[in-house]
């Protein structure tokens, strides 16, 4: 297996609501039309996709066709280049309908981060510190 992720797909309850949150609210670019049944957002590195939760669960296995748990043990991180960007993005998310789960604050690892949950409860960490970036915005892990 090559060391990369291609697509992270989020199973969502309301595809249009989630499209509006990510595209209109958070400014992620997409070339797919909302009527296609799946929405892809181009990001640096892997893509983010939105797909109806029930259809995604059915695609994996009928045994997964249950309501989403509040905390799945997975978070999605968006690292930024400056400390100030953390506050700007968390405020943008809140204005777009996100719930602030943990206000931005200094971290035990010397950075600065906070968490919000999107309209379907997926947890996003917005973080600054400890990483450098390639030209395309992807992280340099050393």
Per-residue confidence of the chain (142 residues) as pLDDT tens digits?
567 778 899 999 999 999 999 999 999 998 766 667 889 998 887 889 998 988 887 766 666 555 555 566 678 999 999 999 999 999 999 999 999 999 999 998 899 999 999 999 899 999 999 888 888 888 877 6
> Do both 43 and 94 map to the same domain?
no
> Do both 62 and 73 map to the same domain?
no
Q: What is the CATH number of the domain that holds 89?
A: 3.10.180.10
> Do both 19 and 53 map to the same domain?
yes
Residue by residue, DSSP assigns 40-78 as EE--SSSEEEEEEHHHHHHHH-GGG-SPPPS--S--EEE
> Do both 73 and 119 map to the same domain?
yes
pTM across the whole model: 0.80
Q: Count up the domains in the chain and report the number.
A: 2
Domain that holds residue 33: 1-66
């Amino acid at each position: 297996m090559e060391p990369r992720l291609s697509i992270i797909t989020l199973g969502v309850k309301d595809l249009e609501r989630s499209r509006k949150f990510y595209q209109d609210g958070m400014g992620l670019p997409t070339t797919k039309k909302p009527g296609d049944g799946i929405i892809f957002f181009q990001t640096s590195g892997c893509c983010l996709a939105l797909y109806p939760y029930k259809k995604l669960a059915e695609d994996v296995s009928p045994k997964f066709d249950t309501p989403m748990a509040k905390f799945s043990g997975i978070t999605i991180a968006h690292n930024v280049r400056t400390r100030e960007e953390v506050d700007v993005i968390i405020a943008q998310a809140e204005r777009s309908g996100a719930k602030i789960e943990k206000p931005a604050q200094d971290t035990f690892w010397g950075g600065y981060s906070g968490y919000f949950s999107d309209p379907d409860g997926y947890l996003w960490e917005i973080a600054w510190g400890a990483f450098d970036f390639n030209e395309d915005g992807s992280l340099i892990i050393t």
